[in-house]
Amino acid sequence: MALLQISEPGATPQPHQRKHAVGIDLGTTNSLVALVRSGTPETLADESGDSLLPSVVHYAADGSNSVGLLAAQRAIDDPLNTLSSVKRLLGRGLADVDSLGAQLPYEFERDDGGMPKIRTRRGTISPIQVSAEILRTLAERAERAIDGMLDGAVITVPAYFDDAQRQATKDAATLAGIKVLRLLNEPTAAAIAYGLDGADESTIAVYDLGGGTFDISVLRLSRGVFQVLATGGDSALGGDDFDRAIADWIRRQIGLGDSLDPKQQRQLLASARAAKEALTDAECAPLDVLGWRGEFSREQLDAEIMPMIDSTLRACKRALRDAGVAVTQVDDVVLVGGSTRTPLVAARVGEFFGRPPRANLDPDLVVAQGAALQAEVLIGNQSGDDLLLLDVIPLSLGIETMGGLIEKIIHRNTTIPVSKAQEFTTFKDGQTAMAIHVLQGERELVDDCRSLARFELRDIPPMVAGAAKIQVTYQVDADGLLSVTARELVSEVESRIEVKPSYGLAETEITQMLKDSYSHARDDMAARALREQQVEADRMIGDLTAALDRDAHMLSNSQAQCLRVAVAELRDLRRACSEHRTLAQQIQAVGKASESFAALRMDSSIKSALAGHTLDEIDQD
């Protein structure tokens, strides 16, 4: 008798064909891995039953590594070889890290690509290597749970991670031997875990304050479609900063100066963190550190961290404005990240949004659980027909044009994945190459934006200026990673680059970029207008000078002299003028004065082209 096998829609009918994929939350303070079992996501625990893996790696003298709690226990007695909070260093340059130098008890050095490396007894270690050790430990935990090999993982990143930080995260996973199915924004993962995708239509704000990063994302959910309307935050603000603020308060009470050795720094930070966690439920926490005893109250904690919480709320306000959503239109507010356990955070967020935030799921676990649900879809174990994720890029992507201007090709808060193309042309006659400078930022001038990559398109056929057609295509994939292609449309020569910068934005650069784009908007537009006129003036000066050198004989001596004087006056004004309207008027005047000369040159060119041809030959052509 034949057996009839029934399976759920979207599920594989053969159990042995089921693939194993997990969700990983690579955190600043703690990391987790989650797996979907019987349709429900659950975080995987270690042998002691703890799901949270401290994001700490210790490099021992005997050549062994320890990851997690055992490593964290070595932080005070061996601080230079115990590396924690490295998520803050992913995708950053050494110059960026210098701003955190007094807060990080490490010895840094630069590698050839500009990435910061940490000196340890095992040599110099990069943040990517440390992150790979943490990811490898989580993958091994998952493989023990499934008694097999992993087929892939969804790894979460802060929504406000830039291209360099995302690429560094992906590189760490590759180094750990993990196939990355997708980099998923942490707020989106949290919304999935809460099951908010089942709502008919709603607008939610996900407030994600972790150990080292802060994100605010505004999402619109409609019939299973997650559309991220806007995102904001700070990739270097979180619970670690709370700890440092408390540590500074303790240091002032003890009367210590700023120059502490690494061991003292670790002791202060450990005491500060313990006090902060105790004040989640208590009103006062005892302190016993470096021979000093005292107390730290919740009122004092609130005073120390209030400026940082206010900074997160300003980011919330900007994100709502970018999304075009009033605070009264937000239907739900979700708290994510261990730092949201701090009572003042929940209170201030509730006041800002005018409603109590959701915190019924464990804020430490919710991101990994959402990532696990998405991994099930991407690996093919569940149908993704009822769930569509539409994330956005946090900052605009553009290209440098003549005059040091940036032409934005993909604007910030554009839904990804996305591909956009724009045509450009050559500036000089006979130009056979074009330099492509890829930029990120909101300002109008190259100097005010961040450089991501440079490459060249060569072997362009020599043509007159403006005749070549160069199509530049920017493509951002679902992970938020960028590739750029430049192609000359006549000859079809092509060049492309995968944008893999070795380091990312400094601590406050993303937020500062947005602030500057608002506060300098009028000045930027004026500067752009001036640069555009300067480029036009340079083009006109070059063209007329070359034309006069070649064809001045077509004019009388006085006519030629008048044009040369006009060109000289334009050149002098180009150097001295700081007002685009004045320069534009002079360009127009010179253009008008040269019209008759241009007509003579055109007539001469036509006569030369027709010389030696009969009318019948011309008709046949």
Q: Report how far residue 527's alpha carbon sits from residue 366's, in angstroms, rounded to the nearest whole number.
A: 46
Domains contained in the chain, CATH given: 16-239+303-391 (3.30.420.40), 393-506 (2.60.34.10), 522-610 (1.20.1270.10)
Calculate mean pLDDT across residues 118-134.
Answer: 90
Residue 615 above 60 pLDDT?
Answer: no
Cβ–Cβ < 8 Å for 490, 457: no
- 488 given a catalytic annotation: no
Mean pLDDT along residues 503-532: 57
In this prediction, what percent of the chain has a pLDDT beyond 70?
A: 84
pLDDT at 502 over 80: no
518: confidence class by pLDDT, cuts 50, 70, 90: low
Tokens encoding 404:
């040091």
Farthest-apart Cα atoms in the chain, separation:
108
Look up 42 and say whether it is catalytic: no
Number of Cα atoms under 13 Å in the Cβ half of residue 286: 2
Residue of 208, 234, 364, 488 marked active site: 208
Per-residue pLDDT of 535-581, as tens digits, reads 788 878 888 888 888 888 888 888 888 888 888 888 888 877 777 77
Mean pLDDT of 218-232: 79
Q: Are 188 and 229 in contact (CB under 8 A)?
A: no
Alpha-carbon gap, residue 74 to 70, rounded angstroms: 7
Residue 225 predicted with pLDDT over 80: no
Q: What is the mean pLDDT of the chain?
A: 81
pLDDT tier for residue 501 given thresholds of 50, 70 and 90: very low
Question: pLDDT higher for 558 or 611?
Answer: 558
Whether 46 is catalytic:
no
The SS3 assignment for 233 reads: strand
Predicted TM-score (pTM) of the model is: 0.63
- The residue from 87, 117, 276, 408 that is catalytic is 87
3-class secondary structure per residue, 191-228: HHHCCHHHCCEEEEEEEEECCCCEEEEEEEEECCEEEE
Catalytic residue among 96, 163, 186, 241, which?
A: 186
The confidence score (pLDDT) of residue 302 equals 95
Tokens of 148: 């097999």
Most confident of 160-164, 186-190, 220-224, 400-404: 186-190
Confidence band for 16, pLDDT divided at 50, 70 and 90:
very low
Among the residue ranges 282-286, 307-311, 466-470, the one predicted with the least confidence is: 466-470
- 492: Cβ contacts below 8 Å, ≥ 6 apart: none
- pLDDT category of residue 3 using cuts at 50, 70 and 90: very low
572 is a catalytic site residue: no
pLDDT band at 617 (very low <50, low <70, confident <90, very high): low
Q: What is the pLDDT of residues 39-91, one digit of tens each?
A: 889 999 988 889 999 999 999 887 788 999 999 988 888 888 999 888 888 88
Catalytic residue selected from 25, 332, 400, 479: 25
64 or 285, greater pLDDT: 285
Identity of the amino acid at 581: R
Q: Cβ neighbours of residue 436 under 8 Å, at least 6 residues apart?
A: 399, 454, 455, 456, 457, 472, 484, 486, 495, 497
